[in-house]
Amino acid sequence: MKMTIGEIVKAIDADLDNETDDVLQTEVNGVCFDTRKIQPGQLFVPLKGAHDGHDFVDSAIKGGAAATLWASDHADRLPLAIPAVVVADPLAAFQELSRYYLSKINPRVIAVTGSNGKTTTKDMIAAILGDEFHVTKTFDNFNNEIGVPYTILQMESNTEFLVVENRMDRPGQLDFLSRLVQPDVAIITMIGEAHIEFFGTRDKIADAKMEITHGLKEDGYFIYDGDEPLLTERAKQVNFAQRTFGRKNTNDVYATATSDGQFETRFTTNIWPDQSITIPMMGDYNVNNALAAISVGRIYQIPQLEIVQKLAHFQVTKNRTEWLTGNRGEKILSDVYNSNPTAAKEVLNAFSRTKTDGRRIAVLGDMLELGEKSPEMHASLKQAIDPTVISVVYLIGEDMQALYQQLKPVFAPENLHYYHADQLDQLTADLQADIQSTDEVMLKASHGIHLENVVKKMLAKSE
């Protein structure tokens, strides 16, 4: 993003505390809301969360901020060292600025949501489009009301496609994000149990996911899992061009055969029956993500061989089904960004089929936001844990006690370990003492459990 302060003021209909020609012509070259990461020339956005961002403006100034948004109810302490763009609500102004910039650059927008697979699908789509077009995609987990505007404002002026991930944890959230980005293509990867605490039923989750179509352009495409009755029913109510993917032969694109390996998955499709397609990820469940990405590639007439080549070499976002090598030589399957029952079972099933000369060790943490049925859903993971295949299990979190009770009758005490949520350091120490060089270790939990800290310790070189 490159804009003058004057353009920003006009775009969001703001006031400026020091309106001179020099200030109006001052160029801003980006936005930042975390003063630890601010770069010279950026616009500081003071958001209110656990702390009030206005309290950190001095750090932003020291970091080289060119200007700052500033809430009108903080007008009694305007910063003097840099221009302040005064608005009623810095977050709303930040969002409005992204809306203006999106309109100015005017890329085609691919919006992806779903209970599972949205990050992987986003990465696949960006790879498929990346040779033919200049593409910007959601970085890391910047996929909510703050992250999506931030992603938009990171676009370079020559961006032709924006591939943006949209998360949802409450009704109305996807409605806002969809109307903000106004997608040319809206994708729902699948309906699972993620955030069921806030919705109660999968039906209500499906209703909320369909909000991704609320901002879809009239000539846009709606792409969804055609094997999911909750989506096929609702798709009849929206008047957009539609493309479906899945495993049934009633879909526009479907897999005709799959072969799941330890580090890659191969499959064929109805549209290219003689073409073997490889993705560099384990797990048959990732085939559906690839089918959704292929559907986008076909809409934009990307050649078949180019789609196949890009899928074979795309880079997945960190901590999503990522194979690593630990400091003892053990193989680590890190999938610690998020978790829900569907995703956890899929990863456990794929992990159970890997080839290893040592033990398979599963480290599982609480799956959050599952509501009153959470204990039952945690206990249901037992069906994906065979003690003759997965030798050792480490569990952490209060709701994982339900799975612990289910596994106690089938695991020897020395092979089943349980920890409360505040015992992460103890789990880490015990796990590291247990690991042997030939072992494979799978880690999966919701991000709030912070298993990524366990992975970091497993990767750290000993001093």
pLDDT above 50: residue 354: yes
Among 362, 360, 312, 403, smallest CA distance to 128 is for 312
Superfamily of domain 322-459: Mur ligase, C-terminal domain (3.90.190.20)
User: Mean pLDDT over residues 174-187, rounded?
Assistant: 98
Query: Is 120 among the annotated ligand-binding positions?
Result: yes
pLDDT in tens, 199-213: 778 899 999 999 999
DSSP 396-450: ESSTHHHHHHHHTTTS-GGGEEEE-GGGHHHHHHHHHHH--TT-EEEEE--GGG-
- Report which DSSP code applies to 48: B
What's residue 195's pLDDT? 62
Q: 216 versus 368: which is more confidently predicted? A: 216
Nearest-5° Cα angle at 336, 331 to 339: 125
- The residues near 309 (Cβ < 8 Å, ≥ 6 apart) are none
User: In the structure encoding, which two tokens stand for residue 343, read together?
Assistant: 């995703």
**Average pLDDT for the chain:** 95
What's residue 197's pLDDT? 65
User: Mean pLDDT over residues 257-265, rounded?
Assistant: 91
User: In the structure encoding, which two tokens stand for residue 9, read together?
Assistant: 């003021």
User: Mean pLDDT over residues 179-188, rounded?
Assistant: 98
Query: Is 115 among the annotated ligand-binding positions?
Result: yes
The gap from C-alpha 89 to its chain's centroid, in whole angstroms, comes to 27
User: Mean pLDDT over residues 2-25, rounded?
Assistant: 94
User: Mean pLDDT over residues 271-285, rounded?
Assistant: 95
Q: 179 versus 196: which is more confidently predicted? A: 179
- Return the CATH class of domain 106-313: alpha beta
pLDDT above 70: residue 109: yes
User: Mean pLDDT over residues 46-71, rounded?
Assistant: 96
Of the pLDDT bands very low, low, confident and very high (cuts 50, 70, 90), residue 322 is confident
Of the pLDDT bands very low, low, confident and very high (cuts 50, 70, 90), residue 463 is very low
Least-confidence region, from 155-159, 192-196, 249-253, 398-402: 192-196
pLDDT in tens, 295-321: 999 999 999 999 999 999 998 887 678
What is the third-level CATH fold of 3-89?
Answer: 3.40.1390
* Whole-number percent of the chain with pLDDT over 70: 98
Separation between Cα atoms, residue 30 and residue 43, nearest integer Å: 6
| Residue extents of the structural domains in the chain | 3-89, 106-313, 322-459
User: Mean pLDDT over residues 11-32, rounded?
Assistant: 94
pLDDT above 90: residue 49: no
What's residue 462's pLDDT? 53
Q: Is 213 left (phi over 0), alpha (psi -120 to 50) or beta?
A: alpha
User: Mean pLDDT over residues 359-377, rounded?
Assistant: 93
Q: With residue 332 as reference, give the H or E element that holds it.
A: strand 331-335
Query: Is 118 among the annotated ligand-binding positions?
Result: yes
What's residue 196's pLDDT? 65
User: Mean pLDDT over residues 454-460, rounded?
Assistant: 95
* pTM confidence score: 0.90
User: Mean pLDDT over residues 223-241, rounded?
Assistant: 97
